Amino acid sequence: MKTIDTILFDLDGTLINTNELIIESFLHTLEHFRPGQFNREKVIEFIGPPLVDSFRSVDSDLVEEMVTHYRTFNHEMHDQLVTEYEGVFETIQTLHEQGYKLAIVTTKIRKTAMMGLKLTGLDAFFEPVIGLDDVKRAKPDPEPLEIALEQLRSKKESALMVGDSHSDILAGKNLGIPTAAVAWSIKGIEKVKSFQADYIIDDMSELLSIVGAERG
């Protein structure tokens, strides 16, 4: 593997545990617009793609209203429901201290992404943060990754994409860079294996060995 100096990260379900927040936000919204039609198992399938895509599959005429309803609840409950994944902060801090270039590429809007980064203290390590409102085409299109690399002044030949969903891994593959999937995805390890990422990591600290970083 060529030397890695740049790591692109998804946010939700990868660096911060927003699973309960996302699930509750979907359930709250869908119960309002489609009472009794969606349960926890069904809304888990919505995790990953942009909100507009998920809600378009429910009702293309109500997408804007559903997105607004979702985000209002999501922002109100954010700090109560978002938690950290063990070992993430320490690993990211180590990578940052050793000079690796780090960026976030998320299907969230930037404002919401920054809420999670600030809550967990990870905002100190990431610049740029590429949100849904920064791109024309979301993951799995490689555009968000390309923008991040451009802003970091990095080349794809030295980059790695890390995520928890198929769209994350596919975005990396579409760009032609190595990919790492996290085993703690809410969709389960068998689903993660089906993404066919180059690496599957059980703990974020394993990323240090993959990119050749020294352990603190």
Residues annotated as catalytic are 10
Q: Residue 153, by phi and psi: left (phi above 0), alpha (psi -120 to 50) or beta?
A: left
**Contact yes or no for 11/117 (Cβ under 8 A):** yes
Kind and range of the H or E run holding 101: strand 101-105
Q: What angle do CA 80, 83, 88 make, to 5 degrees?
A: 160
Q: 9: helix, coil or strand?
A: strand
Residues in the chain: 216
| Encoded tokens for 144 | 């968000």
Kind and range of the H or E run holding 67: helix 63-81
**Separation of alpha carbons 201 and 183, rounded Å:** 6
**Separation of alpha carbons 204 and 183, rounded Å:** 10
